[in-house]
Structure 1
């Protein structure tokens, strides 16, 4: 039984409606499906605007009560930037999300996720180090449930020349200590890196640590819901995972893999 906790609709930067995304999830046999539109603390075109929050809450409530063939969850992908903690806590209390995916997209004012040319001339090793420092700070806050696209800086084919194992180890230990999870984000397979986030070596490390895992397609269109899940599930089983998790009203629950 599979879960897909990472997807976006027309409320943020997706191209399909809530109902279209849910319909696609049901058609693909997803047992637990969560919608997690963007919430950013930078002004950009892909964050959910505050005036849409009430409509989003009512839309999700209707889907939860009106859909019987899959469990529907209300999530949010919330950026981490230093100093955002009080805002995240207030938004979490006001919106009643089942879970929060925590993501780092910005290093200062640089959005590392959207424009390949912006990487020109950048120090790749320093970028990875700063990104992972922010990811670790995010986990330390205890405000998030799932770590999103854990090795995102590789998206455009940039890889660190230094061994980051100890840093990933530290982050994994903290994810476990905070009773969080990390996702296998399958959207990386359609990006220049052509790889899941995170790479299998990190998945193997986190399985050894006993860190819980979930699945997210990071779909922005109904056609991408559950993309590459058979491949991702096979990889998880090969590594040794026997279950995946999801969060409902902030509580971690499990399904057999």
Structure 2
């Protein structure tokens, strides 16, 4: 049995997210599994490094699947990219050890979030950024980034209710870069809770625009209450850039 790892790039605009849904074929996982099943003529299930929400994009989603097929990797990648929709592309395929698991072996992730910071929206960037026209204090947002970095219980910055699983995560990098009318936020950490990046982003924007105090971050960490944090920004500005594994 071969274990094959894929690196996948996708535009999530038309899809209901990564995870396969029983009542819809509008998912990334579902589209890829359908083509793999046609290719190998046996039912194939793929394991992703994690879910992405409806509208979220990926430059470097990682997944793996197991197969008895003897088809060469070069033929597989050619087949997949021929029959997949044009907004889903398999960038790379490689054979990995049998025990490799795209989700359980992931040790960290890198996300980008883009904000279109102009009074007038962009017709071209509307599916790949969040239009936000409020004046922003970048010094204050950078202070907020430093407060969010490090190891904390991030349940207050997530959509999760109480859970038995640990909600402690470590953010190693949270940076802001102005790229013309776009503001590029980079998040690197050992893992992210459901909607955590989007809620951190909403909090940063509300602090930067003056509608939330910088100290609110400390209160969220202390009280662990979602309503103390900022808004959940839309999914279309979010990109999964990279998933990290131990070599």
Q: TM-score range by the shorter chain?
A: under 0.3
| Larger strand fraction of residues | 2
Q: TM-score, structure 2 length as denominator?
A: 0.27
Which is greater in Rg?
Answer: 2
Q: TM-score, structure 1 length as denominator?
A: 0.26
